[in-house]
Structure 1
Amino acid sequence: MEEVDKILIHALKQVGIEEIDSIKLFSSELIVEAVVRCIRVIDPGLGNALPTSLPPGMSARFRVGMSLAQSCQDIGYKGEIGYQTFLYSNEPEIRSLLMFLVEKLPRESAQSSDQPTGKSVVLQRAIAAAIKAQLAVPWLPSNCRLPMHCETQVRSPAPGATCRSILEQDTEPQICKKVCLISEVKDFQWDILPPVTAQPAHHASVVASILEQHTAELSAAQEWDIEWNSQGLLSRLTPQEYRSRKLNRLRKRIEEQLRSAALPFPESALGGPCSTSDLSELLQNFRGSAPSDHVLTKGTHFTHTQKFTFAQEAAAVTSSIPTGHQSETDIQLHQQEELTSLQQQLQQLCSDVDQLAADMKHMSVTNTQVKQTHTPQEQRNSEKEEKMQVKKKTIDLLPDSDNNLLKLQALVEASAKRVVNLASQWEKHRAPLIDELRRLKEICSNQDLESSRKLSEIKSLHDRIRVSTDEAKKKEEIYKQLVTELENLPQDVSRSAYTQRILEIVSNIKKQKEEITKILSDTKELQKEINNLTGKLDRTFAVTDELVFKDAKKDESVRKSYKYLAALHENCNQLIQTIEDTGTILREIRDLEEQIETENGNKTVANLERILDDYKAIRQENSALAAKVREG
């Protein structure tokens, strides 16, 4: 049991139970904590709802014990278990329960396969180790810090804060196509640009900035791979041609957006009560041109009216400046009249703007209708002009009609002969051309099939390369994680010690088996000898009884000897039976002693005393609750 207890204690230390030396010294609180921590490792969803310590109230203790018993049954414990296992525990039950829980704990291989592997896990563990190391360092006030550590102890920016850093990879190759630009960029990076570690304002944000930059580059490369595999290969272009076509499309879209932004506003937008100065500024901002003061534009009737109105208003305002001799009442009346007149002018201007917008709409509709009617008229005019040209040439040929007819017939005959000659020549060339066309079409179709097949092979190769790359990355990450875990493992405990200990346990078990086999063989030999002696005694008694019985019929003294012989045989049988009963009683005594030791190990008396104390505590709680109920 000592070896078993050592194994259990070692496993419990792995889950966070410290300062334990033996299973016998386990208290109820320590048993509850050990069981809960093991359940949390086995099933986190089930163990997170369980407390690691017993509450002060007895009723709450019973509920915690019942919930722990139910949780142990849920994870597969088949033994007898209840709240008494945790509150009034004994050593054998606790040992069997802990052995079951330790066997259910996930092994290191299972943990490494279930947990997420990769650089993030290693990084998180390294961060946790660094935080633990920093927490272990005692805090010092600023006055007590050493001068050499003042720079490192200054308050740093927020964790994970990043800033834009310029790396050599920042300049994309498709942008720097010219050699001079590439050389200028390299000169700038070599001569003027500071190192990456010196670019951020705070030294603590260097790593986060570099990680953010590399993450952006990696995501851009992955997006390009996905786009090229999905769309670029189907376009049958080179990567440079595909990029240039994409760049041209982007430029066209930007030009279209700029043109649409530079167009004048529709007439409906001019209907609101807004000033022309704001509108012109807005249009100038969209068009990116010079201010309206420096551009000579042709004014419309609306703009002239607006300018004239604003000039009148300015003159009225300047003329309406009150003098010192006027009273406040006259000034207010004058301002009210001006406000009324300005509102009327504003309403008039709004109505004028609405009327102008309606007129512009009507004119645009009329212009569209005129264009629609003008286009077919132009087509008809062009057709009539062609017919007129033909008729004019015919009229010019009418004065000398006979000669012209002969010439025309000659031209027709020559054209017919030429057509026949061309047809014969075409037939001579047509057959090989058709054969060549069919051959080329067949070659083209074969090339298309071959290209589609190669494209599918390339896609499959890309998929396999991606899968192989992912697998290689995962294996590399697992390898790095295992190397890191191996480095973090304690080096003071060697594997040979555990192996030697296991071999010693195995040799002890073998010795015990040999001793048990030897005892069983000795017991069999003794039983065989006893059986032989018993048989020999029975046979001897039978022969002696027969001989003495024959002589007892003739002689009285021999008859007494026969009686003594029978009494001796009976006494020997009683003695043998007494010896057998003594052995049975001794075995029963040993069994009872073992039971007494077991009961003493179960702490029955102590548990009974604890049960009585708990019963008294529950009665006191019940009486206190009843008193509260009566008071309420």
Structure 2
Amino acid sequence: MEEVDKIIIDSLKHLECDISDDIQSLKQFDADMVVAAISICLEAVTPGITFPKKLPPSMSSRLNIASNLAQHIKDLGFKGDMGYQTILYCNEVEVRRVLMFLIERLPRETIKTIPIEQTGYVPRIVKIIEENIKDSLRQMWIPSSLLSSGVREYDGGYLVNSQGNSCPLQTENLNIPDLKNENEDITIIIPELKHYWIHNLPDVTKQCSSRKLIPSLLFKDNEFSENSSLSGAIKKQSQNVIVDEIQSNVKISLLPEDVKNSKKVIVEENVEKSKENKIVDLLNQLEDVKSKYVTLHEVIKNNELQLSQLRIMKHEEQEVLKDTLSKVKLKTKTLAVINKEENMAKLKNIVEIASDRLVELANQWNEVQTPLLDEYRSLQNTLTTEETKLQEEQLKLSNIKETHKKLIEDLREKSILEQSLTQNEIQKDAKHDETARKAYKLLAALRDECSCILKAVNDLGLAERESRNLQEQIETEKSKDFAVKLDRVCSDLEQIQKETQLLLT
């Protein structure tokens, strides 16, 4: 069995199974190694299906994986006892039988292509995401209400316990070269500005931290956009208000005290009224813009509907055009064939050439056929002669068998007559001679004892055979390691009880 184990381990290593050099026999295989070996063999036998290479810590998922592998092995035609217990609580004999079955089912040229690992930041992130998703799918599913940060029904709604995983959107103003200037032509660029952009302006990645880079590129600060007309109007109005306030303050400072107080009140009232009027105007402008946006949105929807209808009509017209073009081509071909003597002459030439070709092929076939027919006839003649010879030999053998049977019957009758004659002679001698009588009695007793001895020898042989069978059964039962299996089952039961208690708590 050591040679068989070496062959199995060598074939598994050729399939790129992770087996260390210290393992020399199947006794050293544990459940994880058995699952990995069976999964790799099944993937080689049934390409396109992936199987897990490791057992998860949860017992329910272990049972599911083991039963799935056992079912696939049964589907391949395995006739032995196969179940999840064969994989989880395996012994040497069962593992050897299963792996030999799978290795026999492997294709002749099993070439496992080594995947080329892509280098780079994005492929590594994608690989990590795939591995995390696979690990999460292998884990046992737990309802959301049992998790510490799950969702629970509470007072007609849903309660979510958040652990503060969200982070605020923090942005910074980035200095990016902008060619879109309303007052200047795009093609005209100041050389000094271009030199500043190329040599002095830092990169976008260096203008802020890595955490704020993507939000800063996607969004502006938590203010209005600089391109917005509303924000520009508000800034201009605020600047004008500040200038007016400064001018009024300067004028008031040159007046006497009484006039100053009255002027201050009047100026403040005028400023407030102007602010209110400007805000009202801006709100009216905003409403007008909103109404224009709504109307434009409706117009766009109507135009999209009309465009879709036009596309459908265009597609239908194209189909009709294709059909008409095919019909026109067919009619042009038929018109080209009809009413032309050249085409008729060409067709006649083609028919004559085909007939000549058929005659040539018939002659060639006759040349090939005649020697084959002669050979066939000669073989038939030889076959008939051989059949006649065989029939004659069969008749001779049957005659020999009959004579042999007659000779055997004659010899049997002669032996019976000789036995009866010898018994009669012995009995006659025993009547007249005492020594002959004693010898006859001793011969009869010896015959009885010999029959008893033969019977005892046969019984002894049967007993030895039964003892050998029992020893083989004992050895097979010992090789199954029921004690080790029972220990594993007990430990798995304890683990299942712990998992159920965790779920209940």
Q: Which has the higher contact order (CA 8 A, sep 6+)?
A: 1
TM-score (norm 1): 0.31
| Larger-Rg structure | 1
Structure with the largest fraction of helix:
1
TM-score (norm 2): 0.38
